[in-house]
Amino acid sequence: MAERRMFAKTIVLSDAFLDMPLSARALYMTLGMVADDDGFVNSPRSIMRQCGASVDDMNVLLAKKFILAFDDGVIVIKHWRINNYLRNDRYQATKYLEHKEHLTIQENGTYSLIDESHFGIPSMGIPSIDKDSIDKSNIDAQNASQIESDFATFWNAYPKKKDKKKAHDAFVRIAKDGKLPQIDEILIALESNKRSADWKKSNGQYIPYPTTWLNGRRWEDEVEVKSIRNPRDFERMTEEDYRF
């Protein structure tokens, strides 16, 4: 078996790939490293343990068709022939010839199952993948991607960038509990806080850490924003007063 493995940018930088959770992407990379020269892996469950992946990560890869699975537990990487090109003098054919007979190679080099009834992996101790579980995996992956995108937006907007990992963990936990409002509502609350006297005084000394703001559900706070009652107040406003 060849020592080196490759991954095509058209696959691992595609939106479909990057939309998956990081743990699912790590599982795909690990499977790609240990697969034989035809892209087959016979022990995906042990690989999952090695890289700390979960059943959900495997289900996402199956649902997104990055891997194809047989009912005896063997899997094959769908885009193997796009990712890897091996010289004939280094190529060692797979021993899973019976499994390979159930595959067809498309013009673009991808594998496809001839008989979809072979789709499933019950022998690994993982429930068979049915349509409902595939749909749920897609939803979970989309939700995870949206949460990550929303956190990036929140982090960019928050004026005190401290303890990013703690803030990220708090954001994800609250979002998964269904207690986080839409990102637009959070941004509106942040803008109100930025204009408040508490956040402006002492050069932002009293702005809470983002984790504290999230855990305290501070987007629900009523914030008193300084208003301009007299036109002459404009003359006394500093640059800081305009900075939202």
- Residue 140 resides in a domain: no
- Residue 87 resides in a domain: yes
Q: Please tell me the distance from the alpha carbon of residue 213 to that of residue 223, in angstroms, as a whole number.
A: 13
Domain span at 20: 9-129
What is the percent of the chain where pLDDT is above 90? 28
* Residues 183, 125 share a domain: no
Q: Please tell me the distance from the alpha carbon of residue 121 to that of residue 135, in angstroms, as a whole number.
A: 17
pLDDT tens digit sequence for 90-146: 677 788 888 888 888 887 778 888 765 544 444 344 444 454 554 555 546 667 878
**Mean pLDDT rounded to a whole number for the chain:** 79
pLDDT tens digit sequence for 199-217: 988 888 889 999 999 999 9
- Residue 185 resides in a domain: yes
User: Which pLDDT does position 3 carry in this prediction?
Assistant: 65
pTM given for the model: 0.46
* Residues 102, 38 share a domain: yes
* Residues 113, 168 share a domain: no
How many distinct structural domains can be found in the chain? 2
* Residues 97, 22 share a domain: yes
Phi-psi region of 103 (alpha: psi -120 to 50; beta: other; left: phi over 0): beta
* Residues 121, 22 share a domain: yes
- Residue 222 resides in a domain: yes
| Last residue in a domain, options 108, 129, 150 | 129
* Residues 86, 192 share a domain: no
Q: Higher pLDDT residue, 172 or 230? A: 172
| Segment 226-231 mean pLDDT | 48
User: Which pLDDT does position 231 carry in this prediction?
Assistant: 46
User: Which pLDDT does position 137 carry in this prediction?
Assistant: 52
Q: Higher pLDDT residue, 177 or 31? A: 31
- Residue 42 resides in a domain: yes
* Residues 122, 15 share a domain: yes
* Residues 165, 93 share a domain: no
| Last residue in a domain, options 129, 150, 180 | 129
Residue 20: pLDDT over 80: yes
User: Which pLDDT does position 157 carry in this prediction?
Assistant: 92
User: Which pLDDT does position 237 carry in this prediction?
Assistant: 46
User: Which pLDDT does position 142 carry in this prediction?
Assistant: 65
